[in-house]
Structure formats: C-alpha cells, structure tokens
Structure 1
Amino acid sequence: MKFYLLLLMIFGVTIFTSAFAKTHYPPLFPYPTQVEWQQGQFKLDSQTKIYLSSNIGKHAAQELSSFLQPPTGYLFEQTQSLAQNQVRFQYVQGMENEAYRLHVGENKIVIESSSEEGMFYGVQTLRQLMPKDIESRMPINKVYWSIPQVNISDQPKFTYRGMHLDVSRHFYPVSFVKQYIDWLAFHKFNKFQWHLTDDQGWRIEIKAFPKLTSIGGKRAHTVVGHTYDYKTLFDGKVHKGFYTQEQIRDVIEYANARHIEVLPEIDVPGHSSAILAAYPELSCHKQSVHVEGQFGIFPQVLCPTAETFSFLDKVFAEVSALFPSKLLHIGGDEVIKEQWLESPFVQQLMVKENLTSGDDVQSYFIQQVAKLLNKYDKTLVGWDEILASGAPSDAMITSWQGIEGGINASKRGHKAIMTPYEFTYFDAYQSRSVEEPKAIHGFLPIDKVYGYQVVPDDLTTEQQQLIIGVQGALWTEYIKTARHAEYMVFPRLSALANVAWGNNDNWSRFQQNLPNIIRRYQAMNINASYSFLTPNIRIEEATPTRMLLNITSGLSQSKLNVLAYDAMSDTEQIKSLNIDNNGNVALNEMKTIKVQAQYQDMLSLPLTLTVTPHKAIGKNIIFTNQPSGDSKVKINDGVFAYDQYYDVNQFAVFYGEDMEAIIDFEHNESVSQIIMGVNAGRHRQLVPPDSIAVYYSNDGQQWQQVKYINGVEVEQPVIRLNFDTISARYVKVIAKNKKQSFDKQIPLLPLYIDEIAVF
C-alpha cells in the first residue's frame, strides 16, 4: 500500500475539482422532518443545569448527563426552577409517540415531547449538534461547548426501524452486542433482530436442552476463503460461544433503556444443522450430522413430528419468557425439502393433511409453530418464503428476496417489514475495489442504500399502510471481527437511518455531509469505511482498436490520482495517460488502470481495472450451449473482471456444460494469441476449465486445431494461449467443464469465462 501511495505522489495524474466548501452546520442523521437554522450559538458550560417539567424525560435527562460528563467534566445539576443556561426537558401533550421538538436558543435548550422515546431521540439529535469531540470518553479541557441555534420539529415515518445481527456464523460477545445497540439508538432505530441460531451454531442457552449449546454451540472448524471456492480449505480451529439466559436478560434490559425492542430469531425448520447435531432424532432420517463449518444452504431440516413440535414448544417457552417482545422470528427461509419428500412419515402426513408439495409441508410446519407461539402471546415473524403455500393469518413478513415478498404479504393482509437484500444487506461489498475486505457477494454502495424507497407505489393506500417499516441486516459468514463488522455497517447505517426515519429525499446534502459523518464515527472509535470515495470507471466505448474510459470520483469534491500499468506485467511499468477535463481516457493497447480518490486526509481504496482493445470486440459469437442470463456480452467487452471484487454478472457462466464459442471476424484476421479470463480476483477461487482447445476456419465448416492444453490448474486469473500466426475468418474456442461436482450443494459445476481476448 505504501508503495502505491509513493507512486501516486511521483507519477500520478491528478484531476482537481472545485474546493469542497465547509458545511456550516453539523450533519444530522437521520435528517429531521423540519429544520430551521438560526444565527448564534448556545454555550454549554460548567454552570449549565438540567430542568425537568415532569417524570417524562427523566431517563433521557440521565442519558444526556451521563453522556456529557466524561468529555466535559461537568456534573449537570438538576433544578426545579426555570432560569437561563438550562437544558429543559418539557412534557407536552398531544404529540405522536416518538415525536419531539428541539429548540436551541442563545440562553437555553428545550426538548419537548409527549413520550420518553421522543425525549430520547431529541437527546440524540442534540448530541449530533455538538462538536464531534463530545464523543470522547476522556476529559477534554474546554471552557464551553458551542451548539448552533436551531429549531427542529421531528417524527419518524415508520413505526418499525430495525437492524439485524447474525451471531451464529461468527459469535460476538455481549460487550459488542451492547455497543451495536448503542449505535442503533444513536441512529434512532427501535428494533433489533438478534439472529441466534443457524447451521453454524446455536447461541442461546435453553435449560431444557443443554446439548443445544454444549454440542450445537460449537463447530470443529470454519471455511477459509469463500465457501464456494474450487478447493475448500478449513482453519482447523474450534469456533464456539453462546449467551446465558442471564446475559440475554442483561442485553434486553440494556436495549429497553435505549428504547429498542429485541426480537429473537430461532431459525426453523431449515438452517437446523446445529439443532440436529445435538438432537438427531428430530430429523426424518435420525442420522448424526455436524455443526456446519461451511456457509450456504444445507439439506438438514426438522421433521414435522410430534416429537419435534414438543421440542420446539419447550424451546419457545424459554425464549418467550426471556424476550418481552410480542414478535418472535422463526426464520422459515431456504428450506430444502428433499429429506421431507424422501421420508415415509412425511409421505403419510401429506396424505393425512392433504398436502401436495414440499411447500405445503413447510406451510403445515409453520402453521404448527404459529400455534405454539400463540400459547405464549407471541406473533410469528418469518422471511418471505413462508408465503409460498400460505402463512398464518397474523404472521408478519420480512421481505428479503426483493420487494415482491412485501407486496405479496400486504396484498394478502399481512404486515410487512421491507429488508430487500439489494438495498439493506450490509454483508455486500461497498465498492468495486478488489482491496475491499471479504464479503459474501453482491454490491451495495451507500448511494443505493440511501435511495431505497420503502413503500412500493403499486399498492393501494390500505396495502401501503401494512408496510410498517424497514430493516437492515448484517450476516457474518465472512465477518469475523468487531472491527470488520464496523467497517461493513458504517457509514451505510447513516443512510439506512434516513430511509427508516423517512427523510431520504436529499442525496446531495447527505453526500456532502458524509466526510463529517465519518469524522464523528471516528471520534466514536468506529472503523468506518471510506468506500463512498471510491472512484468509478465507466466504459464509454469499446472497439477492436480503442477503449474509451470515463473516470469519476465517488465524491465530486475529491481529487483523483490515476496510474496506468502494462497489464499483467511483472515490472508494472507506469505509462503516461492523456486524461481530458471530463475524466475521459483513450487506450489503444492493453492496460491496467489504478485510481484512488482523496478528500483531505481520507484516501479511498484503489480501484483497478484491466482493459484491452482486441479483435473479437463487437464481433458475433455463436455458442453451442448458451451461458446463463445476459452474461454472454461480457465475454468480448474488452474488460477483465479479476482485479475488482467478484461479481458473477461479469462472467459468462455454463452450469454443467462445456463452452464452445465461435467468433466470426467477418473477414480474415491474423491471429496468434488468445487471453482468456477464467478466474476471479483475490476473494474467490472459481472452477477452472478441464481443458481448452483453439481451432480456426475460413468457411465455418472445416476446422484445424492450433492449440490444446489439458489438466488446467489456474494460478493466475487468465490463461494465455500462444500459437503460430494464422489467417482466419472464424476462431473456435472450446473449454471443457470439469462436470463432476465437488460439493453436494452444487449438482452442476459452473464454468466461468470472463473474456476471450483475441490478438
């Protein structure tokens, strides 16, 4: 990294934009409903007192006093009489439950609300109005602290504003969970979904079934790299941990004090490997299984027997006693029905209950679970898969596969929480830089989070009212540490907070405030990502003789440092570039472009892209077996995918099939080399071809072989195929799929081809 920075200083071509004007007022997130900035400041000092008009606001006042005392050293005496230099908590009647008004004047600060929640949210906004140094937990020597004068009137649009945390895949201690709750409270979230069980570990003490934690709470090892890598490796380290019931109560009490409702998630009937490792008799096959060390979807499923429902009844009895929330999430997602359909018991059950499919069996299972929860006055919440054959009438739906689940739920009369993965899953990559830390897959930049509109337009007014809110998710398959978790959550949580509060209508203001939001996070000792700065490289034109690229920054006020290297060169010789004022770059040979953006002391991760003009660009390609989706255009677009994050959409993918591609040059061309992209960058190891053969023809009928390699084991993401120069109208490339699966989860091996560059 230091080497690249030195090169940027010596050789980089720098594009400057207009200076970024300092934001006069501090950023507020989520942005309040109404804000009227005033001239002047309130000076908070050692003589500032706190006034309470009633007991409503008592806890919020204590929260403010406790928060301010470490950095200021002030004691903040409470007084019963009105005077100057006060922070007043004023109870008023008639306001909505979570609404508040905040007035910062020259001589007083007034927080008004009808509820403790509103008072608490007023405190969070006041905290953001103060200098970022107020976040220090150590004393800072100041005579006073300045707060800009302002009038704010605020209330949320949605009653459900949630965030999720997966502690099954990687276990996090209570201290981190509490810190996570602090972050949610600061951003005015009011729901926390605690994903406590999955295939990789059971994380909650159940006294009736101690083996759930003694056996189901630990796994022998964890996959190294990605779970779907070509050659799976494991770390050989036991991963374990669970929360005692005493710890659960402690976390709930902590959350309640911050007006956050904790929803437990106990995932059934799928994602149950940890349960069945402890109690295999609850499966249909009764065979021993293990707690999974890989990630993905597994066939282990609870059998819909009386024994299983008796087990779940006792589990839910203990869980219900621990969690005051009326909502209990039971998962219900990604259930593989194979073991059910192979079971004689389930076959008999299907006849008895008039069930005709695996989806029907799942619906039956969920209905039985709902009856159990009703005993404990709980409402069942499930992922949108539970809609397949009919969910319980009072069930709430979390719509994760897209917005369609929420639409279908509301049309059927269910309340829905929108959590579509493409907008709210923070385990996705934040930029296209290959230097992003490992993520599961997908691309979710902060502007996409901010731009999410929660309520679909194509619903009636009554149906829209059933969309009660939005929830983000942090799945932790590849997030092993707290600092990595922080990086994935921040600053995207600030964008989601605006969405959840209902005020995500001014991206320009939010984007300009992002550097200052980051600085506050840093003052809170949060490892926030700079990925919002990462540049963009867009292909404007691709021909056999020229590639035209446009390079822009993720933040217009930053400067860009641009380098070009000889692609795939061992010496990385740097070449000068002609970059116009619009950020356009023209290339007539293969190059690797590396770009970094800088704003003040913030430096983005480098964005790297290898591009090349070549003779197959724009030419017709005929496939014997069609690749999946629309990916076949990627095979001759002049762009290699290996030096950005793994994106399956950048590859032509052949599932269980060979690739046979015929390129028609329309006239004879001299050809002596083909460079094929066959692998991803640093985060994924794709399945290489078993063999590759190259043929040529002048009539498309008679073919001559010019190159053949067998037993391909790819160390590099590309394969270079050199041969004596030929003159040909047609070139055919055959890449053989290995076909035999290395994983039962993948019945057909995928063959990935990124580019067929012809020279």
Structure 2
Amino acid sequence: MTMKPQACEQRVASIIPRPVHIVTGQGVFHLTAETIVRSNSAVSKEARWLQSDLSARCRVAPTRSREDSAANQRPHISLELAPETPLPAAGYCLDITPTVIKITAKDAAGVFYGTRTLLQLLPTTTDFESAEIPAMTITDHPRFAWRGMMIDSARHFIEVDHIKSFLDWMAFHKLNNLHWHLSDDQGWRIEIKKYPKLTEVGAYRESTPPYGDRKGSDHTRYGAFYTQQQIQEVVRYAAERHITVLPEIDMPGHMAAATAAYPYLGNSDLPDYAPKVQNHWGIHPYTLAPTEAVFEFVDDIFTEVCALFPSTYIHMGGDEAPKTQWEASPRVQALMQAKGLKDGHEVQSYFVKRVEKILASKGRKLIGWDEIREGGLSPQASVMSWRGEAGGIASAQEGHDVVMCPQSHMYFDYYQAPAAQELAKGAEFQAFENFLPLQQVYQYDPVPAQLSPQEATHILGVQANLWSEFIKDFKKMQYQAFPRIAALAEVAWSPAADKDYANFLERLEGILAHYQLAQINCGPIYTPAPQDETPAKS
C-alpha cells in the first residue's frame, strides 16, 4: 500500500522518548519480506530480536539475520558496533535511506535502543504487505543511566508471562531497570531453599480487602510465589532486552510474612507476640530483631538472592519500620546499651550497616528507601528518595548516589484522573487517594536545583513506582502504568531543555496507536478545564 506523505510525517514525530537530534531525509525505505537484517556477531542477538519484532508487529518476515556482504547489494537493515563513535554509552545513530537502515553504536545496548526507535516508526496497522519507513538520521543517547520502574508482587502476585510483557514495553520506552518488590507484610514471593517456610507459610494470607473497602475482607485465601527457576527466567528475559532486574527484600520492617514463617526472626521476647501474614494494607509493627541469628538469616537470604540476580545493587527496603517493638523489647534494649544506641533510629542505622557489610561481602552494593538515612546513612549506601526529594538531596550532597522517585511525581498507583471521575466507573477503578496526572509526571526534573553540578553527578536517574494494593490483575496494572510510562521515559532519557508537554502530547498520539494495536488497557489522559486548580502535590 502507498503511504501518504502526512502519514510519514506523523511517524517521524511519534517517537518517545524524544531523541536528542533528528534530521529528516528524502524518500522512504520499503520494509518487505525480502528485507535482510544483517549484523556482526557482537550484536547478533539484537538482530534476532529485531527480526522477531518486525515479523510480529508488521506481519512480514524479514530474511534471517546474518552477516553477508552480498546483502549490501539490496535494501537491508544493518546493525553494527562502532567502538570509535563519540556517542556516549547506550547512545546510537539510526540512519534511514531508501536503500538501507543502519544502526550503529559503541555498545550492544545502544544498538538495541536504536532498534526500539525503529519499531516506533512502523505503521500501527497490520493490513500491509510492506511498510514504508521515512528517511531520517537520528543521533540519540540517554540523559540518565538509571531509567526504572518498580513493580510490587508482594501485595498481588504478577504472573511471569505478564512480567515479560511489561519488560517488552519497558524496552519499547528505553527503560533499563526493573525494581522487583518481592516481600512484604502481605506475602513472601521468592523461593529460598534454605528457608522453605518463607513460601510454605509466608506466601499465603487468609484474605484480601476488596476494591472499594480497604479495611474489608473477601474471606478468600490468597497466595503464590516464584520458584528460583522462574526468577532466573525473568532475569534472563530482561537481560536480553538490556534491562537489569533489581530485587528488593524489604527489611527490617514490612516483615510480618517472614516472622509468621519463622517467629524467632522477630521480637519474640515481647508478651503476646504472634506474627501472621497480614490481610490488610498499611504499616504493621513486625520488624526483624537485630540479633546475630537474624543477621545469619539475612546473610543466607542474600546468598541465594545474589545467586539469582546479577545486579550491582540489591535493595533492602528499609522504609516504614516502626520502632515500637524494638523500644519494648528487653533484648533490643540490652543491645542499645551495649552498642551505645540512643533510640530506635540508631537501631535501624545499626541494622542497615550490618546488611551493607553482608552485601559487600558478596560483591554487591546496598540501595534502600530514604528511611535508611535515619540514625546515620551507611558509608557506601545509595538511596531511593520517595518521601519527596529531601532525602535524595541530602544524600547527594553527602556524596551518595541517588535514584529519584518522589511520590509527588512518580507513584503510578495514584489516580491518573480525579478520584470521583474514576470511581464513577466502578469500585475496581480504586487507586491510592492521591492524584498524579500525565502532565505532572512529564514536568518532573530528577536533578533538584539545590544541587551543585558536582553533587548532581550523584543522581543516577529516575524511577516510577507501581505499588499493587489496588492492582489485582495485569489489566489494572496496565491501566495504572500507561500512558504515564511514556512520560517517565522522556523524563529519564531526553534532554531537559527539549521538554515540551504540548509537543509530547502530539507525539504520544502515535505511541497510543501502538498501545491500541497491542490491546494495552491504557489509562486516561486528564486535561483539566481552565477553571480547574493545579493538582496538589502529595
């Protein structure tokens, strides 16, 4: 079918995240079943993925990828490493002419991201025998090294196939870190062979609050967990898409499921101590006890976790750890006296520093929520700043690396449109009370103005968090994540000086067509009326 010129122009515009530099060319490249995808061996995997994606999205089957000099005599797609290129790591050049599409980069990640841009240039229909790709040259590279999403399997379990689908869409948006929340008060989701009760007991709760009644009960037992084989499958699938999977085992708080499985891990010297897997959301009092037996448990846990996840960082949580049980525990009081710890915050700092040493012994780095600053931050720890930016700013000023994910702009479990408007559709549209429209996500800058240029180098990047209390299935997960994931991608990748929300919305039209083609359950794009107030920051 012949492409109308305006359709080509629309596809040039429909790239998210916005590339650093685009020069439009003349003519089109005709993608057909006769097209060859060729590469050298260093990026053969990227070539195979491109071939597979083109076949799936275009309903055409390009010739099997190969390195073949004869291919230069016919229209082809070429993927090449160019170590001498001045592009930064993960940057790429996508050069499209009527006879060849050439993607070059100094590393395989850059080549892969070039292929993701190419996919966004495809038509969003399936009724063609060939696709016409407009000629252009794109030179592009990411602003931040950390471009992440967090998913929560603890409150509601996410099937492996659904995680894989989500990874595909993260890759489509050039995101490269999946933070996987695997344990909490409401469920322990990762198999640990040395401690089988963590999943035999800790993976199951008696009931779950139904939509619309967060303090209620559905009176139905709920639970599931990932085997170590499934974990490895997800990690491998992500790595093929240049995504690092960051595991989170939340401690010392959010440990009701673990202490229900092994009560000695908690503050078992308290009267009427009876931990259980929690049936309701919120903050619960069950913390790990700072004993040597517990630190042996932590060491054992992270031995198995590190064997499954090759990530540089391991996330220990550290958030919302109530100090009440520690303050009432004779055992913890004795520890405080022996170690000169004056309050529960210093007990938490002592705990975090012990965990940091355990991870360092395994060649890994500790990262945690900004509460790990309480009582004094561990020397080499990195921080995820969620309670606003203050923890991230202070950490960067002290020389610690930081990932910004403030709830004011990066909590995708919040409503995308006003709560009343969403709940009018049904109780199943319940989300956390706060309101985070697409525009507010887009407007975020992960580098606070208070930081000097040197301090700003400690901002690793940005991440959005998708807590799952009100996300019971994958369709709801999509509804909360899309299209805000596109705004996140642009915040994380594109130059800050080039951000333009009106222009973003124009480009989003083409991306929404890709979502629609894939039957993504996309959430609303809320545009306030002129008299509406600016959404309050939470």
- Regarding TM over 0.5, the answer is yes
Structure 1 pair 508/314, CA: closer, same or farther in 2 (3 Å)?
A: same
Structure 1 pair 303/450, CA: closer, same or farther in 2 (3 Å)?
A: same
Q: Is the 8 A contact 2:75 2:99 kept in 1?
A: yes
Query: What is the aligned partner in structure 2 of residue 631 from structure 1?
Result: none
User: Residue 531 of structure 2: which of 528, 531, 538 is its match?
Assistant: 538
Q: Is the 8 A contact 2:16 2:508 kept in 1?
A: no
Q: Is the 8 A contact 1:366 1:386 kept in 2?
A: yes
Structure 1 pair 384/43, CA: closer, same or farther in 2 (3 Å)?
A: same
Structure 1 pair 325/226, CA: closer, same or farther in 2 (3 Å)?
A: same
1:41 is paired with a residue whose SS is strand
User: Residue 47 of structure 1: which of 12, 16, 34 is its match?
Assistant: 34
Query: What is the aligned partner in structure 2 of residue 249 from structure 1?
Result: 232
User: Residue 176 of structure 1: which of 147, 162, 176 is its match?
Assistant: 162
CA distance in 2 between counterparts of 1:473 and 1:89 reads 34
**How far off is 1:39 after superposition?**
3.1
Q: Is the 8 A contact 2:60 2:130 kept in 1?
A: no
Query: What is the aligned partner in structure 2 of residue 9 from structure 1?
Result: none
User: Residue 197 of structure 2: which of 173, 191, 211 is its match?
Assistant: 211
Alignment of 1:194-205 (within 5 A): 194-205=180-191
Q: Which amino acid aligns with 1:457?
A: A
1:470 is paired with a residue whose SS is strand
Q: Is the 8 A contact 1:334 1:385 kept in 2?
A: yes
Alignment of 1:370-389 (within 5 A): 370-389=356-375
Alignment of 1:335-414 (within 5 A): 335-414=321-400
2:80 pairs with 1:90? yes
User: Residue 507 of structure 1: which of 501, 505, 522 is its match?
Assistant: 501
User: Residue 511 of structure 2: which of 477, 498, 517 is its match?
Assistant: 517
CA distance in 2 between counterparts of 1:142 and 1:227 reads 48
User: Residue 176 of structure 2: which of 160, 181, 190 is its match?
Assistant: 190
2:43 pairs with 1:60? no
Query: What is the aligned partner in structure 2 of residue 418 from structure 1?
Result: 404
1:328 is paired with a residue whose SS is strand
**How far off is 1:226 after superposition?**
5.4
**How far off is 1:484 after superposition?**
0.5
Structure 1 pair 109/275, CA: closer, same or farther in 2 (3 Å)?
A: same
User: Residue 528 of structure 1: which of 522, 525, 528 is its match?
Assistant: 522
Query: What is the aligned partner in structure 2 of residue 72 from structure 1?
Result: 59
Instruction: Please list every run of 5 or more consecutive structure 1 residues that lacks an aligned counterpart in the other structure.
Output: 1-21, 134-139, 541-553, 555-644, 650-759
2:24 is paired with a residue whose SS is strand
**How far off is 1:297 after superposition?**
0.6
Query: What is the aligned partner in structure 1 of residue 139 from structure 2?
Result: 153
Instruction: Report the structure number with the largest CA radius of gyration.
Output: 1
1:434 is paired with a residue whose SS is helix
**How far off is 1:321 after superposition?**
1.0
User: Residue 100 of structure 2: which of 102, 108, 128 is its match?
Assistant: 108
**How far off is 1:440 after superposition?**
1.4
CA distance in 1 between counterparts of 2:105 and 2:170 reads 21
Deviations 1:312-354 (A, max 9, x none): 1111111111111121000000111000011111111111111
**How far off is 1:534 after superposition?**
4.6
Q: Which amino acid aligns with 1:429?
A: Y
Q: Is the 8 A contact 1:49 1:79 kept in 2?
A: no
CA distance in 1 between counterparts of 2:445 and 2:371 reads 22
Query: What is the aligned partner in structure 1 of residue 4 from structure 2?
Result: none
Q: Which amino acid aligns with 2:323?
A: K
Q: Is the 8 A contact 2:384 2:403 kept in 1?
A: yes
Deviations 1:575-628 (A, max 9, x none): xxxxxxxxxxxxxxxxxxxxxxxxxxxxxxxxxxxxxxxxxxxxxxxxxxxxxx
**How far off is 1:435 after superposition?**
3.8
2:388 is paired with a residue whose SS is coil
CA distance in 2 between counterparts of 1:539 and 1:407 reads 32
Alignment of 1:457-606 (within 5 A): 457-503=449-495, 505-529=499-523, 531-536=524-529, 538=531
CA distance in 1 between counterparts of 2:123 and 2:299 reads 51
CA distance in 1 between counterparts of 2:268 and 2:530 reads 53
**How far off is 1:26 after superposition?**
4.3
Highest relative contact order (Cα 8 Å, sep 6+), 1 or 2? 2
Q: Which moved more, 1:291-300 or 1:85-94?
A: 85-94
Q: Relative to total residues, which structure has the larger helix share, 1 or 2?
A: 2
CA distance in 1 between counterparts of 2:532 and 2:357 reads 56
CA distance in 1 between counterparts of 2:432 and 2:282 reads 10
**How far off is 1:79 after superposition?**
4.8
For normalisation by structure 2, the TM-score amounts to 0.92
Query: What is the aligned partner in structure 2 of residue 446 from structure 1?
Result: 438
**How far off is 1:460 after superposition?**
1.6
Deviations 1:434-485 (A, max 9, x none): 2421101211100111110110111122110001111111000011110010
Query: What is the aligned partner in structure 2 of residue 261 from structure 1?
Result: 244
Deviations 1:129-150 (A, max 9, x none): 11123xxxxxx45331011111
Query: What is the aligned partner in structure 1 of residue 259 from structure 2?
Result: 276
Q: Which amino acid aligns with 2:256?
A: S
Q: Is the 8 A contact 2:16 2:507 kept in 1?
A: no
Q: Relative to total residues, which structure has the larger strand share, 1 or 2?
A: 1
Alignment of 1:222-241 (within 5 A): 222-225=208-211, 232-241=215-224
For normalisation by structure 1, the TM-score amounts to 0.66
Q: Which amino acid aligns with 1:528?
A: C
2:271 pairs with 1:285? no
**How far off is 1:648 after superposition?**
12
Give the superposed CA RMSD.
Answer: 1.9
**How far off is 1:73 after superposition?**
3.4
Identity, in percent, stands at 39
CA distance in 2 between counterparts of 1:384 and 1:219 reads 28
Query: What is the aligned partner in structure 2 of residue 37 from structure 1?
Result: 24
Deviations 1:236-283 (A, max 9, x none): 111100000011111111111011111100000000010111111111
Structure 1 pair 416/380, CA: closer, same or farther in 2 (3 Å)?
A: same
